[in-house]
Amino acid sequence: MKATLSANPFREGLRIERTPSPCTMIIFGATGDLTARKLIPALYNLVLERLLPPGFSVVGFARSGKSNEQFRSELRDSVEKYSRTQPLQKAIWDSFAEGVFYHQADYADPDGYAALSKLLHRIDCERGASSNRLFYMATPPAAYQEIIGQLGATGLAAPGACPTGSAGNRCGEWARVIVEKPFGKDLASAKALNQSLLSVLKEEQVYRIDHYLGKETVQNILVFRFGNGIFEPVWNRRYIDHVQITAGESVGVEGRGGYYDQSGALRDMVQNHILQLLALVAMEPPSSMDANAVRDERVKVFRALRPIGGSQSESFTVRGRYGPGSLSGTRVAGYSEDTGVDHESTTESFVALKLFIDNWRWADVPIYVRTGKRLPKRITEISIQFSCPPLLLFGEAGESMSPNTLTMRIQPDEGISLRFEAKLPGQTTRLRSVNMDFRYSTSFGAQPPEAYERLLLDCMLGDSTLFTRGDEAESAWEFVDGIRCGWDQHPPQDFPNYAAGTWGPESARRLLAEDAREWRRL
């Protein structure tokens, strides 16, 4: 029997290829790293694929002085360095660059916003764009509230905000704001930020970005689960022994010590990226692919997370910090030697957690997560380990059986594999684990778009499914704050406790060994 369209939640939310309505993107913090490495290369690739609307324009807003020409030439260099498609196509870049402008102003100066309003009006008139606006917060978070307040005071973020005198120019239908991470540093600051955003904007105008949600492989988690009939019936506590999520990075702090040392792995990776991966793996099927239906299900997972607080942090969490070590044969320095790191700080560069989701589907199924810097390799994967068969029929051969494991490789070598037992050819019955493997690169050939491409386009199209809703961000912080609070009562005594180039501290191994389990060897 075929599934009917209405019974298929994916049909309703499918984004048919379409072009957003004309708009201008205003980037606050336009001279920073994010603009150069991610935003402009993503926009350039969207232009290459003809996915941006005619008249699309960019205004870079920042404090340092710069001409339009200088700004355009710097951005061109960054596309040549960071774009996933190379070499740069000059004609395409030149026509895109005609719509790129630089606006120098202080974030706290009302005159700067009045001048921005005039510039936007001029762009609307000259480039035939409407006054739809996408404001992108790419500044340090300390500036967010100031900018939001100014946007509110000038009315720039009100949908349909049409500067006076724009007769003959179509008035915009929307104004949206993308807020970069970190979205606060704890529950209290996330609430305060939500409040200031919502004092100026409606929730539908706010797009809190988590770039992991924009990764192709991450989007495929829901397709894999709910677009197939065979996996969901076993996707629960009756068949799953445990889940492991690893997000390993071989890089260190990479000159971001000033930020990272105030943050640490729990805030930097777990509160957002890892919990979002967990939500997609653990959530119930949504009633449709409508943004709020999906986000309702994600937030329910966060609300069902069993809190880890106070003395429980000893048994359910591990934190670590790397000392000097070696990676791919090269000696690397320890965390505390990185620039911007406070020598007295107790910030962790590694976290491992044992989590439980207290609901009917997941009760008592441990979910082990780990993430860290300066691990042996960059690898992100989710692995579902199934329970062993109830009876071992193959004597000694069966005793060495490995459990069935389904692994979703998020990056690199993107794909999905299922490990199961097979009979080794021969006269006796001997078992061997084999893999059924799907690889994006061989199955689809085409290079997947970068997360920022998908997310910028979705925001222009008004689709917030892959963005974090305010209550999601707060629930995730509430959970993480509990752990932080327990940690603050017991500062680590053994830092650094793992050498760069190893899979974290010995206590991470023990976290699973105590449950007679072990981390996957990656």
C-beta of 246: minimal distance to ligand BG6 in Å? 12
Residue closer to ligand BG6 by CB (options 157, 265) is: 265
Residue closer to ligand BG6 by CB (options 120, 209) is: 209
Pick out residues in 177-206 that bind ligand BG6 (CB under 6 A).
Answer: 181
Residue closer to ligand BG6 by CB (options 31, 371) is: 371
C-beta of 462: minimal distance to ligand BG6 in Å? 24
CB atoms closer than 10 angstroms to residue 246? 22
User: What gap in Å lies between CA 278 and CA 475, rounded to an integer?
Assistant: 14
Q: Which residue is nearest to ligand BG6 (CB)?
A: 268
Residue 486: how many CA atoms within 13 Å on its side-chain side? 19
Residue owning tokens 């915009």 = 172
C-beta of 456: minimal distance to ligand BG6 in Å? 15
By CB under 6 A, residue 348 contacts ligand BG6: no
CB atoms closer than 10 angstroms to residue 290? 16
- Catalytic residue selected from 103, 211, 242, 273: 273
Pick out residues in 387-406 that bind ligand BG6 (CB under 6 A).
Answer: none
Residue closer to ligand BG6 by CB (options 124, 268) is: 268
Residue closer to ligand BG6 by CB (options 76, 181) is: 181
Residue owning tokens 């006076």 = 164
Q: Give the containing element (helix H, strand E) for 370.
A: strand 367-372
Count the site residues for ligand BG6 by CB under 6 A: 3
Burial of 384 (0-12, 13-18, 19+ CB in 10 A): buried
Tokens standing for residue 248: 């390993």
C-beta of 104: minimal distance to ligand BG6 in Å? 28
C-beta of 325: minimal distance to ligand BG6 in Å? 18
Tokens standing for residue 206: 């706010």
C-beta of 350: minimal distance to ligand BG6 in Å? 12
Residue closer to ligand BG6 by CB (options 297, 450) is: 450
Helix ranges (H only) for 128-237 are 144-154, 187-200, 216-226
Task: From 164, 144, 142, 289, select the one nearest 227 (Cα to Cα).
Answer: 289
**Residues 6 or more apart whose Cβ sits within 8 Å of residue 498:** 320, 321, 322, 323, 325, 350, 372, 504, 505, 506
211 is catalytic: no
Task: From 472, 248, 218, 221, select the one nearest 352 (Cα to Cα).
Answer: 248
C-beta of 448: minimal distance to ligand BG6 in Å? 13
Q: At what angle do helices 451-461 and 40-48 cross, to 10 degrees?
A: 70
Residue owning tokens 């870049």 = 93
Q: What mask, x for binding ligand BG6 by CB under 6 A, covers residues 153 to 182?
A: ----------------------------x-
Residue closer to ligand BG6 by CB (options 99, 372) is: 372
By CB under 6 A, residue 261 contacts ligand BG6: no
By CB under 6 A, residue 249 contacts ligand BG6: yes
Among 268, 297, 414, 463, binds ligand BG6 (CB under 6 A): 268
Cis peptide before 505 (omega within 30 of 0): no
Tokens standing for residue 101: 């402008």
Question: Which positions lie near ligand BG6, rule CB under 6 A?
Answer: 181, 249, 268
Annotated catalytic residues are 273
